[in-house]
Structure 1
Amino acid sequence: MRGNRSRDTKPELRLRSSLHALGLRYRVAIRPLASIRRTADVVFTGVKVAVFVDGCYWHGCPEHYRPAKRNTEFWSDKIEKNQQRDAETDRLLEQEGWIVIRVWEHEDASIAAERVRGAVLVARRRNQDRHSRGY
């Protein structure tokens, strides 16, 4: 378990590099909401976009997850709880007006970065609309 990094993983670094190449600036490894103990991998605080880079094994990727051959009950429960926590995190953030993007570790970083960029642009327009209406 010690070898499993919580931040600066290769998939995160590839995504961050692609985001930076698109001219996007962001915060790394912060809690979008102080009230919950969940840390997003990439956060655009001004427009409320949180990005999580999920490992295929730890988060139960539908394409690549393969159950453990040993201690199967423990690991299947662990992965299921991770998925439930992910869903709860998404729900809590969305209730507070955040856009949540989940990127699988196997996804092409440049394609994922474009998806994130699209969400950031939508969030910026949303903020501009609110300000123009006096909210």
Structure 2
Amino acid sequence: MADIVDSATRSRMMSGIRGRDTKIELALRKALHASGLRYRLHYRKLPGRPDMAFIGAKAAVFINGCFWHGHDCPFFRLPASNVEFWRAKIDANRSRDIATLDALHGLGWRTAIVWECAMRGRPANELSALVGRLKEWIREGCSNLDIRGPLPEEIAVMHATKVKAE
């Protein structure tokens, strides 16, 4: 399938996608800071420069976009055009993610990955529960954490509820 916009427009659109300070990253950082936790942003002394590093707790938090990291959720879909390029790019991102996590674990750090789908389109009460879970993990958690979004059937129920409310 051909792209629906010309290459100059696509290039401009893609260059506008941020690699840091995304909306979901800013929302999570603001909530954790408001709850009293302090962290280092994109800490250069650690492999992979985690989005947030909690030095005293030896906990690193990554906030991953579902598309760019090839997450197995409804928000990821391999583009229909230039498939070989996108598959190679996303596979390289996944490999780099695995190597980064392994390096951090080797240094004795715990890691958490918060996926975009866990935060996207969620009401404030669900986000506060996510923040509470992450906060508890940072302070007391002993293993690694992977916070994912709802399953496709949960999304369908949420969408149906939203449509009825409107």
The alignment partner of 2:117 has SS state of coil
Structure 1, unaligned stretches of length 5 or more? 125-135
> Taking CA–CA contacts closer than 8 Å with sequence separation of 6 or more, which of the two structures ends up with the larger relative contact order?
1
Which whole-Å CA distance do the structure 1 matches of 2:137 and 2:63 have between them?
A: 15
Which whole-Å CA distance do the structure 2 matches of 1:32 and 1:105 have between them?
A: 25
Partner of 1:27: 40
- What is the Cα deviation at residue 32 of structure 1? 4.5
Partner of 1:73: 84
- What is the Cα deviation at residue 23 of structure 1? 1.4
Partner of 1:121: 139
Partner of 1:61: 71
- What is the Cα deviation at residue 118 of structure 1? 2.1
Larger-Rg structure: 2
Match for 1:50 among 35, 47, 60?
A: 60
Identity of aligned residues (%): 43
**Segment drifting more, 23-32 vs 41-50:** 23-32
AA matched with 1:94: H
Which whole-Å CA distance do the structure 2 matches of 1:29 and 1:84 have between them?
A: 19
- What is the Cα deviation at residue 20 of structure 1? 1.6
Which whole-Å CA distance do the structure 1 matches of 2:31 and 2:130 have between them?
A: 9
CA deviation profile, 1:34-58 (whole Å, cap 9, x unmatched): xx4x211111112211111101110
Question: What is the root-mean-square deviation of aligned Cα atoms in Å?
Answer: 1.8
The alignment partner of 1:23 has SS state of coil
Which whole-Å CA distance do the structure 2 matches of 1:122 and 1:55 have between them?
A: 26
**Segment drifting more, 38-47 vs 70-79:** 38-47
The alignment partner of 1:106 has SS state of helix
Partner of 2:128: 110
Which whole-Å CA distance do the structure 1 matches of 2:110 and 2:23 have between them?
A: 24
Size of the aligned set, in residue pairs, is 121
TM-score by length of 1: 0.80
Which whole-Å CA distance do the structure 2 matches of 1:27 and 1:9 have between them?
A: 16
Kept in 2, the 8 Å contact 1:29–1:39? The answer is yes
CA 111–76 in structure 1, closer or farther in 2 if over 3 Å, else same: farther
